[in-house]
Amino acid sequence: MSRKPIIAGNWKMNLLKSEAKSVFEGIKDFVKDYSATELPTIVIAPVFTSISSVESVKCDCGCCGTKIAVAGQNCHWESSGAYTGEISVEMLKDAGCDYVIIGHSERRQYFSETDEMINKKAKAILAGGLIPIICCGETLEQRESGITDSWISGQIKAALQGISAEDIAKSVIAYEPIWAIGTGKTCDADEANRVIAMIRSVVKEVAGSDAADSIRILYGGSVKPSTIEEQMSKSDIDGALVGGASLKAESFNEIIANTMKVACGV
């Protein structure tokens, strides 16, 4: 089964509007030379206040609008109401988003997000017609004590609970070992592939083989232009969630180009 790769840039709490616009313009400039079929699915997750700025860079001629999707970095599961500081799926959709990143380890760690909240968010995103990018991953301590697989399998089962196989099939999971995020220490590609294959088997268990074959599972954690080729050559790694290296168009474009060498047939 061939799954279209995804290269997603998580800009986290970085880049002011003008900076976001200029990085986006740099990516747009690169993708214009390729067709949407040649390119991986490209997703950019700016801060909320920059979503409209990057959207304004897109044009209607098909040269970029269909090639670069925009994502929210978080959302609330309710559609509106007294939730100061939160943003709904409908609001993200209204701003132009097609994807929403949920359950990032930074949100779990600093904002006490639980598996239950992530499950509610995933359901709200799918009900709103957007695609969740559900993050999971273990700490170094958990890895060293040998509980990586059971921990991640628990996170995935909780996040997908009560979601139909059809909706699971179109969702995206990002495996991001916490010790590899922003540290420069990339997880060995064979090991990342092993964990991702394990996640796929969990998806098969909860939603069946069609969903397991269709769902795209990404690796994240210090992905760089120099690491992506090996990562993308592995059987179960369907793309990358990129933090630091997505903040500059040059390195993000290089990641896209290197992905195309291995996975998109260019």
**Residue 181 in contact with ligand PGA, rule: CB under 6 A:** yes
Tokens of 186: 């990339």
Q: Is residue 104 flagged as an active site residue?
A: yes
Tokens of 2: 């061939």
Q: How many Å apart are CA 117 and CA 114, to the nearest integer?
A: 5
**Residue 227 in contact with ligand PGA, rule: CB under 6 A:** no
Among 103, 132, 221, 239, binds ligand PGA (CB under 6 A): 221
Q: Are 240 and 172 in contact (CB under 8 A)?
A: no
**Cβ-based nearer residue to ligand PGA, 45 or 211:** 45
**Residue 223 in contact with ligand PGA, rule: CB under 6 A:** yes
**Residue 242 in contact with ligand PGA, rule: CB under 6 A:** yes
Give the strand pairing for 239-242 and 216-220: parallel
**Cβ-based nearer residue to ligand PGA, 172 or 181:** 181
Tokens of 75: 């959302």
Tokens of 240: 């990358």
Q: How far is the CB of 15 from ligand PGA (least distance, A)?
A: 14
Q: How many Å apart are CA 114 and CA 230, to the nearest integer?
A: 33
Q: How far is the CB of 84 from ligand PGA (least distance, A)?
A: 26
> Could you tell me where the DSSP H helices lie in 58-104?
89-95
Q: How many Å apart are CA 24 and CA 46, to the nearest integer?
A: 10
**Cβ-based nearer residue to ligand PGA, 39 or 223:** 223
**Which one of the listed residues 104, 106, 113, 138 is annotated catalytic?**
104
Q: Which residues contact 117 (CB under 8 A, 6 or more apart)?
A: 77
Among 5, 6, 7, 10, binds ligand PGA (CB under 6 A): 10
**Which one of the listed residues 106, 113, 138, 176 is annotated catalytic?**
176
**Residue 9 in contact with ligand PGA, rule: CB under 6 A:** no
Q: Is residue 230 flagged as an active site residue?
A: no
**Residue 259 in contact with ligand PGA, rule: CB under 6 A:** no
How far is residue 140 CA from its own chain's centroid?
21
Residue numbers annotated as active site:
104, 176
| Interface contacts to ligand PGA, rule CB under 6 A | 10, 176, 181-182, 220-223, 241-245
